[in-house]
Amino acid sequence: MQNKSTKALYLIPYGAWILLFVVAPIALVVYYSLFDIHGDFTFSNYKAFFSSVYLELTLSSFWYAFLITLFSLLISYPTAYFLTKTKHKQLWLLLIIIPSWINLLLKTYAFIGIFGQYGPINAFFAAIGIGSTQLLFTDFSFIFVSVYIFIPFMILPIFNAIDRLNPALIDASRDLGASPWTTFRRVILPLTMNGVKSGIQVTFIPALSLFMITRLIAGNKVITLGTAIEQQFLVTQNWGMGSTIAVFLILFMFIIMLFTGQKEKGGASVGKTK
Amino acid sequence: MTQQPIIRFDNVSKRYNDDTTVLSNISFEMERGKFYTLLGPSGCGKTTILRLIAGFIEPSSGEIQFNGKKINEVPPNERQVNTVFQDYALFPHLNVFENVAFGLRIKKIKQAEVKRRVEEALRFVNLQGYENREISEMSGGQRQRVAIARAIVNDPEIILLDEPLSALDLKLRTEMQYELRELQQRLGKTFIFVTHDQEEALAMSDEIFVMNAGEIVQSGTPIDIYDEPINRFVADFIGESNIVDGVMIRDHLVRFAGKEFECVDAGLDTNEKIEVVIRPEDLEITSPERGKLIVTVDTQLFRGVHYELSTYDRDGNEWLVHSTRKAQVGDEIGLDFDPEAIHVMRLNESEEDFDRRLESYEVPDHAE
Amino acid sequence: MGKQSNAQKLFLALVFIILYAPIFFLIFYSFNSNGTMSSFESFTWEHYAAVFDDTRLIMIVLNTVIVALLSALISTAIGVLGALAIVYLKNRKLRNTLLSLNNVLIVSPDVIIGASFLILFTAVGVRLGFASVLISHIAFSVPIVVLMVLPKLLEMSDSLIDAARDLGASGRDVLTRVIIPYIKPGIFAGFFLALTYSLDDFAVTFFVTGNGFSTLSVEIYSMARAGISLTINALSGLIFIVTIGLVLVYYALNRRNRTPVTGVKK
Ligand SMILES: Nc1ncnc2c1ncn2[C@@H]1O[C@H](COP(=O)(O)OP(=O)(O)OP(=O)(O)O)[C@@H](O)[C@H]1O
Ligand SMILES: [Mg+2]
């Protein structure tokens, strides 16, 4: 048995980290949300949040996050499923993940060129006679780029869930007379639900709080909760209002985690998106 | 020959969280160079005793002595005791050589000597040439031998083995029983071996400690324990047996199954209620006229070396019989046995009283 | 499961093309002498030369790498100690509380982390710049390291530690000769993840960096807001090659340690 005091020593740096960087920041955000721009104690920030401007903002933020998550899922699930059937699946998976390791800003920057007035997409449209269209700074480009960014993070947990599935279960289902489609619906999908939930978790919450893509690709047309926080903190310098929005974002985060929480705690959700 | 015992437990108790008593007031002594076995059902506290000796846990009360010195609080790394763990606990990040060398490296022994001693230990367990193998590349039996080599290489006074054979198949298990016993005799070390397999205990040990629910119920040589079980629990646990209620009429006369029989037991109260044990192999099949008991054959199984018959007497007592002779199911047969085959057990007799009683009528027998 | 149909292959191929297209698009135009990302004129290295001539940019790259390496190292140390502390905690409630707190930073959106750290640094009086960025990166990497190391520690059987003690190892020996070697794959995985998260981070850094200090992500952001510059493209090409190199190193290390490439336990 190791010495009790050495064991206590392990706890000190980690405990200090938790207090300083987990507990204190949240407490400070809540504290700051109770002050207005002049530093006076007030609930006006909360009142303001329930005004139509912020409610609309919240709704549209949720709507975009929903669309982004939905499209990511529609692409990721089949991709993950087909990937598990490839011969060198770990290698293919690695190839899916590599793009996620290229700096996010660079990929976003690439889309400025691709969707640009003289970019390849518009050139293609011109070639088939549609004529050039405004692609950049639209809802479409915002959702497209976001989905592009989130796909690898969604694929990973789903892939792991499908990969972990015991193949004998599928054989058993087929043996009991289920068609491939029924097998998928009744056996594979329910058993991989945990992977889907972690995928939704790592997509929906960050999608609510995107701000870099909204600025670069959506050109301030799409405003999300994340953009609003950034705006309040770094542009308007109204930390009180920014903190209030942050408090609600944290609340939403906990609610979403409750919904997508899992009984079995796996390391599957170790996918963090910027 | 009053040699200093190597291990002595003096009223040792072990409690967890102050309420669950795992061992209660255990006292025993172990002599140097013998093969001891702790035998008992799952959860009776065998591993707990080993962990107390190894030093992983401390007793809640009582004293543990090693060579006459109290060692209650000595940490495991300062005890001359090494353990072969049930799951072997081999280090997966080290190869066979480094696993065996682990203890020597801790003691900062020179490389040349480490090499010599590790190779010697591996030779002892018939694993020479396996030095550079990874643990994952070894079979179950080989891993077990690595675990033994890792323990003996440190030249401990005592080697503790916690059910080391339980993961092996029957054939390998029997083989390893021979090897272990032989190894212990070659090394001359004290082995304390844990098992819940009574055949294994009978085959290997110099002395067996039968345990139940945190207490040592009986200790003695395999033959003593097999022939003279102290109570129903031991009789049942060590081999199959027929146990019936009876009454002691007077010395050398006992009544059970509706009849009186001559026996060798004495020194009990007149008309004392007792239990009688007769081993299935001590019962012999004869004709009903010549049998001391008359029974009907209910089932018969062929067990390889013998037939196992389940029979019932007229009072409804079941009698198991092991016989090389065959009988017919449904037949009435007689069962014959010697007076020595009857073992009388007093109810709730302590081990000391039991030993004293046995000595009182067995000493003349042994004084040849 | 059945064989892959052609439709499935086509689908996968499309996904791969879309995933890689932007990256190769960037690299392709990094060789364009025209200076735009639309019409390719002729091949040139000039944008790469521009990257190496730009001492400010090179300083920023160096800053980024230094912050990543330092934060990965320090957070790995804290994270390993944290995982050990969690494992040694007997009290179940306390243990679960610690684990939940550990996961808060993993699921928190970067905007929240950035904004709350900004408040924290201002409240405590840390000057925004190298120190605040480094501290932030350490802070958000610690829980990742804990999550990578913890399963390894939990899977380790107690009897291994008993065995080491039994063979004469002191508490220190047990740590250095048994526990650390055993959890090494987890430590490596944690370190590499911390490294990539730091290199990749934009939002948190954007909040807590001051005027004088910048990392690559923040720099690219301001360059991109200013419009297209093929220096960024050349930089992408270089980063892509370095990333592939890192992946190969990680892959090789992992091969030796026999854990899946993805860093996610099966
Ligand atoms: N750390 C502990 N805390 C509480 N109770 C314990 C602890 N360790 C063991 N016990 C209890 O002590 C009793 C004896 O355990 P022990 O491991 O000695 O049994 P055993 O005889 O070795 O059994 P087996 O044959 O199954 O290995 C069991 O009832 C067990 O539940
Ligand atoms: Mg045990």
To test the contact with chain B by mutation, choose from C165, C166, C188 the residue with the greatest count of B C-beta atoms within 10 A, namely C166
Q: Name the band, by pLDDT with cuts 50, 70 and 90, for residue C256.
A: low
Residue C14: phi and psi, rounded to 5, are -60, -45
Distances (CA, A) of A204 to A80, A97, A194, A257, B28: 18, 19, 15, 10, 66
- Within-domain flag for A31: no
Residue to probe by mutation, ligand 1, list B18, B20, B23, B165, most atoms within 8 Å of CB: B20
Q: What is the pLDDT of residues A221-231, one digit of tens each?
A: 778 899 999 99
Name the amino acid, one letter, at B276.
V
Which chains contact B through at least 3 pairs of Cβ atoms less than 8 Å apart?
A: C
Q: Name the band, by pLDDT with cuts 50, 70 and 90, for residue A4.
A: low
- Within-domain flag for A20: no
Nearest CA to ligand 1 atom 14: B45
- Within-domain flag for A118: yes
Of A199, A223, A203, give the one whose Cα is nearest residue A211: A223
How far apart CA A254 and CA C104 sit, in angstroms, is 9
Q: What is the pLDDT of residue C265?
A: 30
Residue C261 reports pLDDT greater than 60: no
How far apart CA C209 and CA C225 sit, in angstroms, is 18
C-alpha B224: how far from chain center? 12
Domains, chain B, ordered by start? 7-227 (3.40.50.300), 240-361 (2.40.50.140)
Domain ranges of chain C: 55-214
Range of the domain at A119: 51-273
**Which residues of chain A are within 8 Å of residue C206 when distances are taken between CB atoms?**
212, 230, 234
Q: Are A136 and A61 in contact (CB under 8 A)?
A: no
Q: What is the pLDDT of residues A18-43, one digit of tens each?
A: 999 999 999 999 999 999 888 888 88
- 3-state DSSP assignment of residue B162: strand
Q: What's the CATH code of the domain at A141?
A: 1.10.3720.10
State the SS3 of chain C.
CCCCCHHHHHHHHHHHHHHHHHHHHHHHHCCECCCCCCCCCCECCHHHHHHHHCHHHHHHHHHHHHHHHHHHHHHHHHHHHHHHHHHHCCCHHHHHHHHHHHHHHHHCCHHHHHHHHHHHHHHHCCCCCHHHHHHHHHHHHHHHHHHHHHHHHHHCCHHHHHHHHHCCCCHHHHHHHHHHHHHHHHHHHHHHHHHHHHHHCCHHHHHHCCCCCCCHHHHHHHHHHCCCCHHHHHHHHHHHHHHHHHHHHHHHHHHHHCCCCCCCCC
Q: What is the pLDDT of residue C264?
A: 36
Q: Are C148 and C213 in contact (CB under 8 A)?
A: no
Q: What is the pLDDT of residue B97?
A: 94
**Which residues of chain C are within 8 Å of residue B56 when distances are taken between CB atoms?**
162, 165-166
Burial label for B367, CB within 10 Å (0-12, 13-18, 19+), is exposed
- Within-domain flag for A35: no
To the nearest whole Å, the CA of B37 is away from the closest chain C CA by: 20
Higher pLDDT, C162 or B240: C162
**Ligand 1: does its nearest atom lie under 6 Å from the Cβ of B183?**
no
- The mean pLDDT of chain A is 85
Q: Name the band, by pLDDT with cuts 50, 70 and 90, for residue A270.
A: very low
To test the contact with chain C by mutation, choose from B50, B85, B109 the residue with the greatest count of C C-beta atoms within 10 A, namely B85
Q: What is the pLDDT of residues A158-215, one digit of tens each?
A: 999 998 888 888 888 888 878 888 888 888 888 899 899 989 988 998 999 888 888 8
Q: What is the pLDDT of residues A215-255, one digit of tens each?
A: 888 887 778 899 999 999 988 889 999 999 999 999 998 88
Q: Name the band, by pLDDT with cuts 50, 70 and 90, for residue A269.
A: very low
Q: Name the band, by pLDDT with cuts 50, 70 and 90, for residue C149.
A: very high
- The mean pLDDT of chain B is 86
According to CATH, the superfamily of the domain at C55-214 is: MetI-like (1.10.3720.10)
Q: What is the pLDDT of residues A145-171, one digit of tens each?
A: 999 999 999 999 999 999 888 888 888
Q: What is the pLDDT of residue C39?
A: 79
- Within-domain flag for A261: yes
Query: Which sign, positive or negative, has the C-alpha torsion C134, C136, C139, C144?
Result: negative
Distances (CA, A) of B234 to A71, B214, B245: 70, 14, 16
How far apart CA B256 and CA B335 sit, in angstroms, is 14
Segments in chain B below pLDDT 50? 1, 363-368
| DSSP notation for B178-203 | HHHHHHHHHHT-EEEEEES-HHHHHH
Shortest-distance ligand to the CA of residue B42? 1
Tokens of B330: 């449904």
The set of residues, in sequence order, having a beta carbon less than 8 Å from that of C259 and lying 6+ positions away, is C185, C189, C265
User: What is the layout of strands, in order, in the sheet containing B242-250?
Assistant: B259-262, B253-256, B242-250, B272-278, B343-346
- Closest-CA residue of chain C to B158: C166
Q: How far is the CA of B43 from the centre of ligand 2 (A)?
A: 7
- Within-domain flag for A12: no
Q: What is the pLDDT of residue A229?
A: 92
- Closest-CA residue of chain C to A159: C266
Q: What is the pLDDT of residue A271?
A: 40
Q: Among B339-348, C76-85, C196-205, where is mean pLDDT lowest?
A: B339-348
Interface contact A226, partner C, CB < 8 A? yes
To the nearest whole Å, the CA of C123 is away from the closest chain B CA by: 46
- Within-domain flag for A186: yes
Q: What is the pLDDT of residue B111?
A: 93
Residue C260 reports pLDDT greater than 60: no
Q: What is the pLDDT of residues A60-85, one digit of tens each?
A: 999 999 999 999 999 999 999 999 98
Task: Give the number of domains in chain A.
Answer: 1
Tokens of A54: 């912020």
